[in-house]
């Protein structure tokens, strides 16, 4: 019987986001591909350290404990530029860290993002900004994982996810109005269209997959009042009143929900993130992420008008 991905939350992860590849990346940059392949072969049994997205992936996979092991809720698939031979170190590191990841796509020197639709992926994470920009340009939901100084608490099983709204969960039509006509016209437009849902953005379907698991957690809590849900989702946006209403109504009309919403109206997101302490935060604006990334695992979604001019996240 074929393995059906259609009803699962499927996330693609590059080895550069899952693990710390600083040692082998330095070899590739300084000595070239042949030296890199030799290095990976001789270090195939050396376990790679945890990367920025490792805590997020570990917690995401742990949610499979809510379901029959033969029918997992979450599937994580490696998408790698390594060839199968040099990819052995990645898969051995996956096993050594106890991650239940058994599927991978290795494409020597090429980004494998074009296989995302075939694998029903609603998210692809990579530390390679060029690969992410190519995926987003092809209309695929992808994010560039940025460096962080945060040290994860391995004992904590809760998974806290934070999203920006425009250009992440929603499209960028309103952002275009703001940039073209200014804040007052943006607010007036959003108030006038408060009951009209936004077009979906690149990560709308990923949130839908998260919400499906949250509904299972709610069912578990109803059966067992002592059960503490592990998933918590927050919306953190520069919108404020009256433009907040259209965001809330859009989520409702999409059949989606968040646990918390922060309508900051220009307040620095970094300070809020330090208090909220999510395990991952998605935003489309580099200016916001440069502030959040040092203390919060942050992901740049290079979508829409704000990313029309290339910027390099720091």
Element (H, E) at 109: none
pLDDT for 70 equals: 87
Give the start-end residues of each E strand in 59-111.
Answer: 74-80, 103-106
Cis peptide before 242 (omega within 30 of 0): yes
Q: How far apart are CA 248 and CA 269, in angstroms?
A: 19
CA 65 to chain centre: 21
SS3 182: coil
Q: Catalytic site residues?
A: 164
Q: What is the structure's pLDDT at 283?
A: 97
pLDDT of residue 1: 66
- 142 - beta bridge partners? 124
Domains of the chain: 9-145 (3.40.50.1000), 159-307 (3.40.50)
Is the distance from CB of 12 to CB of 79 less than 8 angstroms?
A: yes
Residue 312 has what pLDDT? Answer: 41
Distance separating alpha carbons of residues 90 and 78, to the nearest angstrom: 9
Give me the half-sphere count of Cα atoms (radius 13 Å) on the Cβ side of residue 141: 24
| pLDDT given at position 215 | 96
Taking a C-beta distance cutoff of 8 angstroms, is the pair 80, 104 a contact?
yes
Grouped pLDDT means (10 residues each) for the chain, 314 residues: 89 95 73 72 83 96 92 96 85 95 91 94 96 96 94 81 97 89 86 91 98 96 94 96 94 97 94 95 95 96 85 42
Q: Where are the alpha helices (DSSP H) in 47-128?
A: 54-62, 88-96
Tokens 């639709």, located at residue: 117
Run of H or E including 121: strand 121-126
Tell me, what's the pLDDT at 12? 98
Q: How far apart are CA 313 and CA 247, in angstroms?
A: 26
pTM (two decimals): 0.92
Say what the pLDDT of residue 28 is: 67
Task: Calculate Rg over the CA atoms of the chain.
Answer: 20
Contact of 150 with 165, CB cutoff 8 Å: no
């Amino acid at each position: 019987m074929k393995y059906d991905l259609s009803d699962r939350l499927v996330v693609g992860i590059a080895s550069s986001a899952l693990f710390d590849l600083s040692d082998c990346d330095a070899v590739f940059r300084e000595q070239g591909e042949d030296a890199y392949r030799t290095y990976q072969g001789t270090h195939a049994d050396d376990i790679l350290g945890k990367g920025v997205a490792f805590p997020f992936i570990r917690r995401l996979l742990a949610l499979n404990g809510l379901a029959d092991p033969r029918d997992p809720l979450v599937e994580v698939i490696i998408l790698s530029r390594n060839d199968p031979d040099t990819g052995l170190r990645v898969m051995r590191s996956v096993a050594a860290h106890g991650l239940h990841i058994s599927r991978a796509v290795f494409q020597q020197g090429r980004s494998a993002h074009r296989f995302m639709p075939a694998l029903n992926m609603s998210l692809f994470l990579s530390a390679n900004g060029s690969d992410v920009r190519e995926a987003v340009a092809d209309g695929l939901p992808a994010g560039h994982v940025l460096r962080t100084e945060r040290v994860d608490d391995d004992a904590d099983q809760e998974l806290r996810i934070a999203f920006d709204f425009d250009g992440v969960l929603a499209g960028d039509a309103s952002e275009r109005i703001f940039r073209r006509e200014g804040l007052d016209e943006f607010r007036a437009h959003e108030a006038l269209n408060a009951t009209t849902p936004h077009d979906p953005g690149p990560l709308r379907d990923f949130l839908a997959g998260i919400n499906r698991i949250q509904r299972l957690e709610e069912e578990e809590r109803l059966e067992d009042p002592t059960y503490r849900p592990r998933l918590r989702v927050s919306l953190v946006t520069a919108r404020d009143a009256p433009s907040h209403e259209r965001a809330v109504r859009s989520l409702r009309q999409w059949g989606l929900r968040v646990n918390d919403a922060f309508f900051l109206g220009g307040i620095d997101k970094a300070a809020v993130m330090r208090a909220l302490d999510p395990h991952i935060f998605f935003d489309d604006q580099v200016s916001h992420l440069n502030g959040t990334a040092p203390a919060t695992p942050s992901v740049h979604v290079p979508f829409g008008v704000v990313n029309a001019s290339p910027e390099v996240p720091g």
